[in-house]
Structure 1
Amino acid sequence: MNSWIDTIVMGLKETYDSNDIYTLYDYLNIQIVKLESRNILLHGNEAFYNRNFLDREMVFIRNDLDLNIEKFILAHELGHALLHTKALQSAFNKNLTNIGKLEKQANYFAFKLFDIELNPIELDGFSLNQISSYTGLPCEILKIFY
């Protein structure tokens, strides 16, 4: 189902010999801009990707996030940058774009980039909070998968 995303992630890791999110942003020349959480550019979100902000690709992200969450969110936004090159041009027109599907794909990309495997047998009986503690990821992200 998401094998095309697996292929992109594998190619990215092989090309740059890294899955470090900051290294990948540098190689891909995408600028990370940290903003106060109440900054109007964030529209109440943790982050967002913009393909052409002052002729540059940028990710705007809150400056008060836990490092593990920041890394995952940056990977998620990188997923949008690499997977949704045409869809994001019309992302604000919800009639033309399946926003939920794009978000799930970007999350899947982030999981694959960091080699996060959630084995349902291993985690059987765990609460969402316990899985969150185990993976270092926030419950909001894990809810998409459970």
Structure 2
Amino acid sequence: MKGIKEIVRQLIKKHRSNDPFQIAKEKNIIILFAELGTTFGFYSSYKRIQFIHLNNQLDEMMQRFVCAHELGHAILHPKSNTPFLRANTLFSVEKLEVEANTFAVELLLPDDVIDQYQDTGLTIYDVAKMYSVPQELVYLKNFNTKTKRIFLY
């Protein structure tokens, strides 16, 4: 299987966007917003129809990250109905969750976006916040050699 970074790179190229909502729409994945309490979101499929469920109480930035995370499940784990993503499971070490988080980080922070901030004085955490990535998950970014030198941690 290709690496997550390469899967995301090809996805962005194909859809000409790194917007998880746009990509989901173009892939005919239905996004549903509902009051989910402490649940941020989850992915499910039924008879080949894919759904991303998002908590409508989350702010726009967090909805964007959760949508990217659940899109990761839809693409990487299409046959697995995923457990609910909650605040306390956002940082799970479970393999499928780490893969979905890595997918989301790579989608929202592709190398070309990061490269735009070279020599700006911003840290990777500043850039991550601007692009809806929780700073606690920045470590999942697979930096290329050039990009790694840009930022002060």
What TM-score results when the alignment is normalised by the length of structure 2? Answer: 0.64
For these two proteins, the number of residue pairs brought into alignment is 123
Which residues in structure 2 correspond to 1:55-94 (within 5 Å)? 56-86=49-79, 88=80
Deviations 1:30-77, CA, capped at 9 Å, x for gaps: 111111133xxxxx421000021x752111111011111110110000
CA displacement at 1:111 relative to structure 2 = 0.6
In structure 2, distance between residues paired with 1:7 and 1:30? 21
CA distance in 2, matches of 1:78, 1:109: 8
Q: Distance in 1 between matches of 2:139 and 2:10?
A: 28
Cα 1:46/1:104, change in 2 over 3 Å: same
1:95 alignment counterpart = none
Partner Cα distance (1:17, 1:59) in 2: 21
Task: Determine what percentage of the aligned residue pairs are the same residue.
Answer: 31
- How well do the aligned residues superpose, as a CA RMSD in angstroms? 3.3
* 1:1-146 equivalences in 2 (<5 Å): 4-38=3-37, 44-52=38-46, 56-86=49-79, 88=80, 100-115=94-109, 131=125, 135-136=128-129, 137-138=133-134, 141=137
Q: Mind listing any 5+ residue stretches in structure 1 that lack a counterpart?
A: 39-43, 93-98, 119-125
CA shift for structure 1 position 21: 1.4
CA shift digits 1:112-131 (9 cap, x unpaired) = 0012679xxxxxxx9xxxx4
Q: 1:103 to 1:46 in 2, by over 3 A?
A: same
CA contact (8 A) 2:105 2:140 kept: no
SS in 2 for 1:18: coil
Instruction: Give the drift of 1:110.
Output: 0.6
What amino acid does structure 1 have at the position aligned with 2:99? Q
CA distance, structure 1, for counterparts of residue 58 and residue 70 of structure 2: 15
